[in-house]
Amino acid sequence: MSETLPLLDVAELSRQFTVRGTTGGLLARLRGGAAAAPKLHAVDDVSFTIGRGETVGLVGESGCGKSTLVRVLTRLLDPTSGSIRLGSQDLTHLPARRFARRPERARIQMVFQDAGESVNPRYTAFDAIADPLRRLRRLRGAALRSRVETVATQCGLPLALLPRFPHQLSGGQRARVGIARAIAVEPELLVLDEPTAALDVSVQVVVLHLLARLKQELGMSYLFVSHDLNVVRLLCDRVLVMYLGRIVEEGPAGAVFANPRHPYTRALVEAIPQIGAEGAPERIRLGGEPRSPIDPDPNVCRFYGRCPRGFARCAEQMPPLHEVGPRHRAACHLVEGG
């Protein structure tokens, strides 16, 4: 039974923020009270699963709701509606405020973009890695030291560097501290938010290899948030593409990159610079800006207006996710019927 149950099961998850301080909002409140205040739909009706040992990539441009989704999943924010299940446990109703002190905290851990900024600058590498072990595993003394050293070794961080502060470490070493700290409490799901964005390519390669090895050794699942699609393609089994709060395409990484079905995914894939691409056929370029995420019309495709292939129906009906291949779905009227 537990074999077939996915590790993470997210269903119809939404998160809205009330917009304050706009003239429109003020007028609305004057007229109809708080209920009519405009809402920013950061994450809108998102459903997906992550299997055990699976690596899922989450891509999309800034402002598409990736970070809000990650913050809701890691229970730093409460969802407005929908459910989050981790294994057999429902996390939806554990308030974010109290989640940090619960044992479930250890099951989902996060690696942030730039460990130079996300690690307390007054903590040594040792303290940074020891902190979650002290709080969540109640380890002290020799047991703590031995666990920190084991994890540091696992992440390829020389033990001699443990007494150093973040500013005394190189970018690659800091990335290792950020990873070591997250895996110290043996999470089942590791959420990685652009873990290599701040690194040079030569260091990025080392960190990507480290992540691939750790996954094999520890059997974790990854949710890998990135806008470097070349990296996502190499590291991930499956990809979710988000646009303005909604998932517009999901499928096996190979299929999505080789044969993107949603026009937005296509534009995204074609925007990646490629070596030796001179003289490539004309590519889709996205002009303009995304639509406003504040109280969007539920009957209009979010990509309409910016989509090079939009037509009348896109403004009348929000396209649902259609099956376009094995485990491959896209939310576009043009792919209806496979």
Partner 1 sequence: MSERPPRADPAVPPQLTPAGGPAADLAVEPGEAPPLDTAPTPPGTAPNLLDSLPPGPIPPAAAFSAAQAEPCLAVRDLAVSFRTRGGTVKALEQVGFTVGRGEIVALVGESGSGKSVTAYALMGILDAAGEVTAGTAQFGGTDLLHAPERTLRGIRGRDISMIFQNPRTALNPIRPVGKQIADVLIRHGGAGRREAPAAAIEMLRRVRITDPERRARAYPYEMSGGMCQRVMIAIALACRPKLLIADEPTTGIDVTTQAVIMDLLTGLARESGVSALVITHDLALASEYCDRVVVMHAGHVVEDAPVRDLFAHPRHPYTARLLAATPTGHASLADLASIPGSLPDLRRPDLPACRYIGRCDRALDSCQVSLQRREIAPSHLVACNNPL
Binding residues for partner 1, rule: CB under 8 A, are 61-62, 170-171, 200-206, 208-209, 212, 227-231, 233-235, 267-268, 270-280, 282-283, 285-289
Rg (CA), the chain: 21
Decide whether 130 or 269 has the Cβ nearer to partner 1.
269
Please count the other Cβ atoms lying within 10 Å of the Cβ belonging to residue 127: 17
The residue written with tokens 């499928």 in the block is 251
Report d(CA 166, CA 258) in Å as an integer.
40
Decide whether 132 or 166 has the Cβ nearer to partner 1.
166
Q: Bridge-partner residues for 49, per DSSP?
A: 9
Cα-to-chain-centroid distance, residue 110:
10
- Provide, rounded to whole angstroms, the least separation between the CB of residue 156 and partner 1: 12
Cα-to-chain-centroid distance, residue 273:
23
- Provide, rounded to whole angstroms, the least separation between the CB of residue 24 and partner 1: 16
Decide whether 131 or 270 has the Cβ nearer to partner 1.
270
Decide whether 144 or 214 has the Cβ nearer to partner 1.
214
Q: Exposed/middle/buried for 239, CB within 10 Å: 0-12, 13-18, 19+? A: buried
- Provide, rounded to whole angstroms, the least separation between the CB of residue 170 and partner 1: 7
- Provide, rounded to whole angstroms, the least separation between the CB of residue 279 and partner 1: 7
Decide whether 120 or 170 has the Cβ nearer to partner 1.
170
Decide whether 14 or 265 has the Cβ nearer to partner 1.
265
- What DSSP element (H or E) covers 225? strand 221-225
Decide whether 16 or 265 has the Cβ nearer to partner 1.
265
Strand arrangement of the beta sheet that strand 39-50 belongs to: 39-50, 8-18, 81-86, 89-90
- Provide, rounded to whole angstroms, the least separation between the CB of residue 64 and partner 1: 9
The residue written with tokens 């998932």 in the block is 247
- Provide, rounded to whole angstroms, the least separation between the CB of residue 167 and partner 1: 14
Nearest of 163, 331, 148 to residue 245 by alpha carbon:
331
Report d(CA 166, CA 120) in Å as an integer.
8
- Provide, rounded to whole angstroms, the least separation between the CB of residue 252 and partner 1: 14
Decide whether 185 or 332 has the Cβ nearer to partner 1.
332
- Provide, rounded to whole angstroms, the least separation between the CB of residue 150 and partner 1: 24
Phi/psi at 192 (nearest 5 deg)?
-110, 115
**Residue 130 contacts residue 144 (beta carbons within 8 Å):** yes
Q: How many helices (H) and strands (E) does the chain have?
A: 11, 12
Cα-to-chain-centroid distance, residue 302:
20
- Provide, rounded to whole angstroms, the least separation between the CB of residue 250 and partner 1: 19
Decide whether 4 or 274 has the Cβ nearer to partner 1.
274
Q: Bridge-partner residues for 110, per DSSP?
A: 191
